[in-house]
Each structure stands twice: as structure tokens, then as C-alpha cells.
Amino acid sequence: MILVTGANGQLGQCFRQLADQNPNVYFYFAGSSELDISNKRMVRKFFDQHPVSWCINCAAYTAVDQAQKEPAVARKINISGVKNLAEACSPQGIPLIHFSTDYVYHTKQNTPFKEDDPVSPKGIYARTKRSGERAALLANPNTMVIRTSWVYSEFAHNFVKTMLRLGRERSNLNVVYDQIGTPTYAPDLAAAVLDIIRKAETEAVPPYLLAGIWHYSNEGVTSWYDFAKAIFEIKNIPCAVQPIESKAYPTPAMRPHFSLMDKSKIRTAFGLQIPHWRESLLRCLEKLD
């Protein structure tokens, strides 16, 4: 059984789609009402009562700016909750796949980050996500941490859906151009994870290889400004986009100015074909129609 926590969030709903397309794979989808990962007793009881073979943790506190006002809540989910899952998985040798963020990269660098490059998380969200990584890896040696970036899909709130709404409401928008990275289409990430699980179960790759930190986003590089421009161009939305510096749009939490991640490790180890971000954006916009 593949347990998916945080099943009602953006990434969790992408795994639900995959379940519909893979009827031979048994998934158990748990939202916060079915499984509150911050409740250690509830987590232990769930694992005692269910035959979990894989745990995919999509539960997270992702309100980056709100985390500055709610540090205790962010820690409860992003650190304690992750640790609870890892500790429940460990005695039974259950692999835990946990998602982290490019926000851990706040160092001044202009080449793609590799998994072993130094990190310097700034702000509550980034720090709790980094602490959650450490807690999971320490509690369960069979933990796979996947750092991802700029996640969007047809589900929940995200940049693409916000731009579509604002672009139709306004004649012009200001979007920051000095934050560089790569968007991640959540269905691509979910499909990659399921592919990795299949290969581990069929021993196409040894299961122990999964442990540690990995990067996954779509291929290519862009800025939020260019991302917004691409959305409007593809959809023929006549909204003018003006590039602005981050300092012109201050936010409670700092964003990385450069968080481009090197995906060669995950691509090589698991033989993944990772689509370019613009190709995936086209697919998303077609589905949103």
C-alpha cells in the first residue's frame, strides 16, 4: 500500500489522478482529517493498523509569508509532522518520500545547485523545511528527500492560476524578474515519483539508492516575469507585464534570487525523462481549458 499524506493538497491531488490511471496500484489517500501527521499517537496508530509499504508525504505548511506570523504552526507540520512519519516508517523499513524546497538555497551562487551544495535557509518556512529534511533523514535511513521549486498544477492556488485570473482582470501587471529558477508541473513530479517506486519494487534500481537528498523540477530556467509572459502569450491574454526588482515588491519572507537546481543526479540514477518547463506549462493550460 502506498500511503499519500496531505492528499487534498496540490501534489496530493496529482497522485489521486495517477491512482485513477493505475488501478493495479493500491493507494491510501489521507488528508489531515484522516491523518494529522503532527499527532504522533495518531500516526503510530495508523501505521499499526495499515499495511503501509511506501509513504509519500505531501503534507506541508507552504504559506511562505504567513509562516512568519505562525512559526509554531509551521514547525508543527514541517518538522514534528515529518519526524513522526519518519519514526513510524523506520522500524518497519518503510521508505519515506518527502518533499522539500528550493527555499533552502539563499547562498550567492550563479550556477545550478547540486544536492551537496551549502544551504542557507532564511525565514520560518525555509528553516522549518530544512529542519524537516534533517529530522526525516535522521529518524529513518530509508528517507528520500526531493527538493522542488515553483510548483503549479490545475489544482489549488498557484502562480499559473493566479496569473490567469489577474491577466483577465487587469490591463497590466508588475512581476519580479530578479528571482531565477525553474517551475515544476506537479503531475510531472508525481509521475516521476511513481516511476521511481516502480523501478525500486522491480529492482531495476536498488531500493537503498533512494536514500538522501535529490532535486526535481522541470528542465530549463526562467524568471517569474518570463513565466508570466509565457502564460499570457500561450493564452493570448492582452495583459502587459512589467519587470520589477524584488525590492519593489517587499514580502514578509525572503525569496531566493537564484535557486536553479541541477537534476542530473535523479535523472541519471532513475533514467527519468524530465520535460522542459514550457512544454509542461502548455499541457497544464490545455487541461485548465
What average pLDDT does range 263-267 have in this prediction? Answer: 98
Residue 44 lies in a domain: yes
Residue 177 lies in a domain: no
Residue 247 lies in a domain: no
Q: Is pLDDT at 132 greater than 90 in this prediction? A: yes
Q: Which amino acid is at 259?
A: S
Residue 203 banded pLDDT, cuts 50, 70, 90: confident
- Asked about 28 being catalytic, the answer comes back as no
Residue 236 lies in a domain: no
Q: Is pLDDT at 27 greater than 90 in this prediction? A: yes
Whole-angstrom Cα distance, residue 116 to residue 114?
Answer: 6
Annotate 160-224 with three-state secondary structure: HHHHHHHHHHCCEEEEECCCEECCEEHHHHHHHHHHHHHHHHCCCCCHHHHCEEEECCCECCEEH
What average pLDDT does range 4-17 have in this prediction? Answer: 97
Mean pLDDT (the chain) is 96
What average pLDDT does range 24-50 have in this prediction? Answer: 96
What CATH number does the domain containing 266 carry?
3.40.50.720
pLDDT score of 41? 97
Residue 215 lies in a domain: yes
Cβ atoms within 10 A of the Cβ of 14, count? 24
pLDDT score of 17? 95
Query: 43: domain range?
Result: 2-157+183-220+259-277
Residue 113 lies in a domain: yes
pTM (2 d.p.): 0.97
Cβ atoms within 10 A of the Cβ of 243, count? 16
How many domains does the structure of the chain reveal? 1
Residue 40 lies in a domain: yes
Radius of gyration of the chain (CA): 19
For residue range 155-171, list pLDDT tens digits in order. Answer: 999 999 999 999 999 99
What average pLDDT does range 12-32 have in this prediction? Answer: 94
DSSP string over 248-265: GS--SS---SB--B--HH
pLDDT score of 7? 97
Please identify which of the residues 28, 61, 103, 125 carries the catalytic annotation. 125
Residue 65 lies in a domain: yes
What are the residues whose beta carbons fall under 8 Å from the beta carbon of 268, sequence distance 6 or more?
Answer: none
Backbone angles phi and psi of 210, in degrees to 5: -65, -30
Whole-angstrom Cα distance, residue 239 to residue 170?
Answer: 7
pLDDT score of 207? 82
